[in-house]
């Protein structure tokens, strides 16, 4: 309701950017919208849907049709301390969740740990609400109209005031990209969507460096 259906387009772009898999970790998976999209776009893939909110995961599990159940596993987990082995995933996705994780460096470290060398991170998140978009119409919507609509739809006005506040406080796309580079990611890119209301950041875990060749004898 709040995005006028554009969230489906944004998630589709995220899923396309994640690559072919076959093993995905979907963090802050919530009610499993991204996890379901990953499973349907990559039918042979396995998706671990992870979130700290068990109630949201349980709601999401109700939406999974029998055909998708073997490929999606919901796991209660904190993105800062993932119950996963090193280098186990080809891709990690997180949609509208990194904004809520503090401190973010712990999440970046864990994502790097569980990604395979050359693996991809895809982050879908709101741009900063401090930039004027559409002549300030979006900013007015974000601060004043969105919380009221959210209160009517969900009967939880505090949650949607929180949403607007965290969007406004979030780093812009350049600062977030710099943060990801500082954390150790490589090939960081960002793509604006819907005039910069949302950005898709992608990054890679750098492949492991090849060991130097062993030289023997007296040659040069």
Token pair for 187: 């090939």
Q: What pTM value is reported for the model?
A: 0.86
Q: Where are the alpha helices (DSSP H) in 48-172?
A: 54-61, 104-114, 137-140, 146-154, 157-169
Closest CA to 7 of 194, 201, 202: 194
Q: How confident is the model at residue 217 (pLDDT cuts 50, 70, 90)?
A: very low
Checking if the pLDDT of 148 tops 90, the result is no
d(CA 205, CA 179): 14
Share of the chain above pLDDT 90, in %: 61
d(CA 112, CA 129): 28
In this predicted structure, what is the pLDDT of residue 212?
42
Query: Where are the strands (E) in 96-220, listed by range?
Result: 115-126, 186-193, 198-204
Average pLDDT over residues 3-16: 88
Checking if the pLDDT of 54 tops 90, the result is yes
């Amino acid at each position: 309701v709040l995005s006028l259906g554009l969230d489906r387009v944004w998630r589709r772009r995220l899923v396309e950017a994640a690559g072919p898999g076959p093993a995905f970790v979907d963090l802050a998976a919530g009610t499993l919208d991204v996890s379901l999209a990953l499973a349907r776009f990559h039918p042979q893939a396995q998706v671990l849907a992870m979130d700290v909110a068990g109630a949201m995961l349980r709601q999401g599990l109700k939406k999974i049709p029998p055909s998708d159940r073997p490929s999606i596993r919901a796991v209660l987990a904190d993105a800062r301390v993932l119950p996963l082995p090193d280098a186990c995933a080809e891709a990690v996705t997180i949609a509208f969740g990194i904004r809520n994780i503090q401190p973010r460096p712990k999440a970046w470290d864990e994502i790097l740990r569980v990604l395979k060398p050359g693996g991809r991170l895809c982050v879908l998140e709101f741009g900063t609400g401090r930039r004027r978009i559409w002549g300030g119409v979006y900013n007015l919507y974000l601060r004043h109209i969105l919380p009221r609509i959210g209160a009517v739809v969900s009967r939880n006005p505090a949650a949607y005031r929180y949403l607007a506040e965290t969007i406004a406080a979030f780093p812009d796309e350049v600062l977030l990209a710099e943060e990801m580079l500082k954390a150790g990611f490589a090939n960081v890119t960002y793509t604006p969507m819907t005039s910069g209301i949302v950005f898709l950041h992608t990054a890679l875990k750098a492949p492991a460096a090849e060991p130097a060749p062993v030289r023997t004898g007296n040659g040069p």
